[in-house]
């Protein structure tokens, strides 16, 4: 808690206004010069997706120009479970990830595989932080969740652009 913590948020995000009112000095606008400079000077970056420089606003040639200047320790905090075979996205070397936080022993069995290149010390079973505040409110609800799995999702046209509908999804186990 003795560290300065910043959040990078897109200005057109539905939560931007609420976040800026509560944490004005700790919200950085995505793709702004200030956000990029803070990213380059950060000690630790918590990430939920691969390709950290892209999510920090460095695209194209800028990514190549700054990659040797970016020295933050990377911690993967996950936005879901890594139980699929996806080392092309989650290999340690893609973002030089120092610590990978996982939510289940099944995830551990996957991430410890040689093709991911993580050591036992760099994987920690901690759960998924986004569920910490959930309250049991027993209801009969049908939850429909989309997937990004490349085998059933429509191809991505461009970074940040939602994927289209793919009828193949209807015939999968999901």
State if pTM tops 0.85.
no
Per residue of the chain (174 residues), give pLDDT as tens: 688 999 999 999 988 999 999 888 899 999 999 999 999 999 999 988 888 898 899 988 998 999 899 999 999 987 777 777 777 878 888 888 999 998 888 889 989 999 989 999 999 998 776 665 666 777 888 776 666 666 777 777 676 677 777 787 778 776
CA-CA distance, 91 to 115, in Å (whole number)? 7
DSSP the chain: --S---EEE-TTSTTHHHHHHHHGGGEEETT-HHHHHHHHT-SEEEESSS-HHHHTT--THHHHHHTTT---EEEE--SS---S--HHHH-HHHHTEEEEEES-HHHHHHHTSGGG---GGGEEE---GGGTT----------------TTTSPPPSSTTSPP---GGGGGS--
Residue 160 confidence (pLDDT): 67
- Distances, alpha carbon 157 to alpha carbons 13, 165, 170, in Å: 21, 12, 21
């Amino acid at each position: 808690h003795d560290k300065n913590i910043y959040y990078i948020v897109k200005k057109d995000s539905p939560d931007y206004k609420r976040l800026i009112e509560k944490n004005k000095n700790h919200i950085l606008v995505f793709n702004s010069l200030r956000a990029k400079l803070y990213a380059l000077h950060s000690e630790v970056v918590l990430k939920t997706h691969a390709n950290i420089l892209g999510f920090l606003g460095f695209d194209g040639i800028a990514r190549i120009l700054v990659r040797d200047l970016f020295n933050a320790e990377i911690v993967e905090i996950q936005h879901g479970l890594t139980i699929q075979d996806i080392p092309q996205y989650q290999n340690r070397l893609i973002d030089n990830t120092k610590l990978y936080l996982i939510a289940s022993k099944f995830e551990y069995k996957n991430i410890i595989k040689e093709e991911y290149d993580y050591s036992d010390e760099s994987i920690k079973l901690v759960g998924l932080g986004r569920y910490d505040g959930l309250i049991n409110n027993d209801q009969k609800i049908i939850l429909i969740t989309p997937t990004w799995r490349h085998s059933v999702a429509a191809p991505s046209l461009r970074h940040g652009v939602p994927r289209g509908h793919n009828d193949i999804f209807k015939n999968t186990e999901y």
